[in-house]
Amino acid sequence: MEADQSVLLLNTTFEPLTVVTARRALKLLFSKKAQSIEDGGAYIQTIRAKVRIPSVIQIVYYIKKPYLAPKFSKRSVFIRDSFNCQYCGRHNPKPTIDHIIPRSKGGKTCWNNVVTACHSCNNKKGDRSLKEAGMRLIKEPQDPKFLVYSALISPAKIKKWERYFHPEKQVDEVFRLDAAITEKLSLES
Ligand SMILES: [Zn+2]
């Protein structure tokens, strides 16, 4: 089974719980322990039929997870930033790590000083501070409250699931939509 057929499992609160294989996801769906939220577009052939593989499923009963602070690693930083360069905002499946305050200037390797960067932005910034390089971050890097670690996570999947990992983005979209509708209504009246 391809890693790309991995499925995001959400809690009843829509919070991501983990990533499971397509087979495990289908088992959860068939046993009515989960419901499909988003289709993946791919199919799997079972003995009886061709079944659509979901991309996102939601567990039916709330799962209480013990709180574990995310562990800092290069991959965790990429996952926190959804493999998006924090300078130009572009998605990059093979990004680099950038120290905002360069290590040569005493910058630490920690959540608040390390971001995902594409090769070109990293080269452009070099061994300089933001001010010296005249560059800006798209957002301040923070300690993530939670992270879903899984070998089944791929950069492409993260991009697809971004709105589940960063629900605040969805809220922004709703606000924008609201503003657009309000504007439309005021123009019509
Ligand atoms: Zn970039």
121-177: per-residue pLDDT in tens? 999 999 999 999 999 999 999 998 888 878 888 899 988 998 898 776 655 554 555
The radius of gyration of the chain from alpha carbons, rounded to an integer in Å, stands at 20
Which structure tokens are listed for 121? 């932005």
CA of 90 to the centre of ligand 1 (A): 6
Residue 114 lies in a domain: yes
- Is pLDDT at 82 greater than 80 in this prediction? yes
Task: Identify how many contiguous H helices and E strands the chain contains and give both numbers.
Answer: 6, 6
Which pLDDT value is given to residue 76?
94
- The reply to whether 17 and 45 lie within a common domain is yes
Domain tally for the chain? 2
- Is pLDDT at 178 greater than 60 in this prediction? no
**DSSP, residue by residue, 150-180:** -TT--HHHHHHHHHHH-HHHHHHHHHHHHHH
Which structure tokens are listed for 31? 């046993």
- The reply to whether 62 and 80 lie within a common domain is no
- The reply to whether 81 and 128 lie within a common domain is yes
Residue 184 lies in a domain: no
CATH number at residue 81: 1.10.30.50
- The reply to whether 152 and 103 lie within a common domain is no
Distance of CA 70 to the CA centre of its chain: 14
- The reply to whether 60 and 13 lie within a common domain is yes
Residue 142 lies in a domain: no
- Is pLDDT at 34 greater than 90 in this prediction? yes
Question: How much is the average pLDDT of 25-39?
Answer: 95
CA of 121 to the centre of ligand 1 (A): 4
CA of 181 to the centre of ligand 1 (A): 33
Residue 46 lies in a domain: yes
- The reply to whether 38 and 20 lie within a common domain is yes
Cβ pair 102, 154 in contact under 8 A = no
Which structure tokens are listed for 70? 């995310």
Mean per-residue pLDDT of the chain: 87
Residue 31 lies in a domain: yes
d(CA 98, CA 86): 9
- The reply to whether 120 and 83 lie within a common domain is yes
Q: Helices marked H in 104-166 — which ranges?
A: 119-125, 130-133, 155-165
CA of 11 to the centre of ligand 1 (A): 33
Which pLDDT value is given to residue 1?
46
Residue 187 lies in a domain: no
- Is pLDDT at 188 greater than 70 in this prediction? no
d(CA 51, CA 183): 43
- The reply to whether 38 and 82 lie within a common domain is no
Which pLDDT value is given to residue 150?
83
d(CA 43, CA 55): 11
CA of 93 to the centre of ligand 1 (A): 12
d(CA 168, CA 13): 14
CA of 80 to the centre of ligand 1 (A): 16
- Is pLDDT at 112 greater than 60 in this prediction? yes
d(CA 53, CA 41): 7
Residue 138 lies in a domain: no
Which pLDDT value is given to residue 17?
92
Residue 175 lies in a domain: no
- Is pLDDT at 60 greater than 70 in this prediction? yes
Burial class (CB in 10 A: 0-12, 13-18, 19+), 176: exposed
**pTM given for the model:** 0.80
CA of 134 to the centre of ligand 1 (A): 14
CA of 136 to the centre of ligand 1 (A): 11
Which pLDDT value is given to residue 3?
44
- Is pLDDT at 4 greater than 60 in this prediction? yes
Facing residues of 44 across strands? 51
Range of the domain at 87: 74-133
d(CA 164, CA 54): 15
Confidence bin at 49 (pLDDT 50/70/90) = confident
CA of 86 to the centre of ligand 1 (A): 7
CA of 85 to the centre of ligand 1 (A): 5
- Is pLDDT at 88 greater than 50 in this prediction? yes
CA of 153 to the centre of ligand 1 (A): 22
